[in-house]
Structure 1
């Protein structure tokens, strides 16, 4: 089982004390050179005037972007404590049962634009870098990751079901191919508006967090897309739809409260 989530746009403030991130000490040391490369390029851009705009971010985030300059000395904290927002509030890692928390730590990976795939307990520093950004000497961040991620992600997925809750820019860096694609499910979220089903955004993040939570708290590990859809259907109406590229979409109805927010 592999549950893929996007990072949150907002992130918690850096810890006040503690050790900084060691890129080579994070899981998948084969990715350390890319992490180092991105760290250097991001620090360079973030120290320049107009850095936020250069990264495709709002000028109002200038202070947070400026922190990128000192990421090598910033105290690290658990990834699950760095990422905030509605998706992570719905997952609510802290209130999972002990068994559910162990499953989340083993199954969930956040697709970070800076650190690569990170588990909830991996120590990282808060940063500002969208996957769509282009960095000097690196190019587009998504393309850089796409060039190296396949072996790592394929090993993480194994022969289990891959549940993809990432947004499109993060999903673009890797998805299983060939026979492995048969166990892939991209989670889409819909809401009923005036009798028509429409794709939702804010509620989608909330619902994808809930889907991850339901899977981790279940008393069984779904071994097929059909079994996983049956598990989610115990909580929300959903439908398994073939993806023309291979694999499946899991179309989930947004909870009424979330579709209003």
Structure 2
């Protein structure tokens, strides 16, 4: 099983790993697309970036140093609601190993990366205009790299950017059955943490549902995929 996650706009600074080496990243079939994306980012940097606020200045500096700055595991680089709820740093070694082996994050700059892949800080999103490239053209075939059963927790924008054939999407709803927006990220993070702690190994949505039933995780099948019920505002998996 592969668990597909979206990236986050916010990213941790710094790192202790060596500079980016794309050859060391997972999914080597994306090498050409990564080279094109990085070359386009070089052109964006050369053309000049918006530095009108401290946040934008930091983002511009991150992009300018993307090839030389220190790296850290992708699962630690991305921050925000989803990644805070997952809290990979607090997992025991076995659960963290599960995350490294099963979680894949979709980067707008590097394509699909594994949780343990060492990446730098950068500021490129699905909506970024990279000179000389169309984001969709870069990653439209990236989904071919994802084998077997994939649990899709990506946002619609990222799922459209790199479609994965047969990926099973997960809808996040309140106990009243209402769709959640901002808070669905916490539900996704909580679900991944539960999967990691249980070190779940399944090869189909039906098998995942069987595990969820035995574990008391409120996951159910729908015509479109799966649905997870979370409490609001507590934002933890309802049990």
- Please report the TM-score for the alignment, with normalisation by the length of structure 2: 0.87
Alignment correspondent of 2:29: 30
Three-state SS of the structure 2 residue aligned to 1:109 is strand
Q: Confirm or deny: 8 A CA contact 1:142 1:169 kept in the other structure.
A: no
Question: 1:166 aligns to what SS in structure 2?
Answer: coil
Q: What SS is found at the alignment partner of 1:103?
A: helix
Q: Of Structure 1 and Structure 2, which has the larger fraction of its residues in strand?
A: 1
Q: Distance in 1 between matches of 2:74 and 2:127?
A: 21
Question: C-alpha displacement at 1:239, in angstroms?
Answer: 2.2
Gaps of 5+ in 2: none
Secondary structure of 2:177's partner?
A: strand
* Structure 1 Cα separation of the partners of residues 177 and 73 of structure 2: 37
Q: What does residue 205 of structure 1 align with?
A: 185
Matched, 1:174 2:162: yes
Query: What is the distance in 2 between the residues matched to 1:18 and 1:197?
Result: 43
Q: How many residues align?
A: 234
2:169 paired residue number: 186
Q: 1:107 to 1:220 in 2, by over 3 A?
A: closer
Structure 1 residues 191, 37: closer, same or farther in 2, change over 3 A? same
| CA–CA distance in structure 1, aligned partners of residues 42 and 143 of structure 2 | 26
What do residues 115-154 of structure 1 show as CA deviations (whole Å, max 9, x unaligned)? 1111121110011111122222112x133111x313312x
1:219 Cα deviation after fit: 5.4
Structure 1 residues not aligned, in runs of 5+: none
1:13 to partner: Cα distance: 0.8
CA distance in 2, matches of 1:5, 1:198: 22
Answering whether residue 84 of structure 2 is matched by residue 89 of structure 1, we say: yes
Partners of 1:238 and 1:26 lie apart in 2 by: 32
Is the CA contact 2:172–2:187 (under 8 Å) kept in the aligned structure 1?
A: yes
Residues 84-123 of structure 1: matches in 2 within 5 Å?
84-123=79-118
Task: Write the distance in 2 (CA, Å) between the matches of 1:135 and 1:201.
Answer: 28
Alignment of 1:226-241 (within 5 A): 226-233=206-213, 234-241=215-222
Q: 1:219 to 1:117 in 2, by over 3 A?
A: closer
Superimposed CA distance per residue, residues 210-236 of structure 1 (whole angstroms, 9 cap, x where no aligned partner): 111112222542332122124334344
Contact kept in structure 2, 1:165 and 1:208, CA below 8 Å: yes
Is the CA contact (8 Å cut-off) linking 2:50 and 2:60 kept in structure 1?
yes
CA contact (8 A) 1:149 1:173 kept: no
Matches for 1:58-69 after TM superposition, within 5 Å:
60-69=55-64
Question: Does residue 215 of the first structure (1) align with residue 195 of the second (2)?
Answer: yes
DSSP-derived class of the 1:251 partner = strand
Q: In structure 2, do the counterparts of structure 1 residues 50 and 219 end up closer, same or farther at CA, with 3 Å as the change threshold?
A: closer
**Cα 1:215–1:29 shift into 2, 3 Å:** same
Q: Specify the alignment match of 2:2 in structure 1.
A: 2
Higher RCO (CA 8 Å, separation ≥ 6 residues): 2
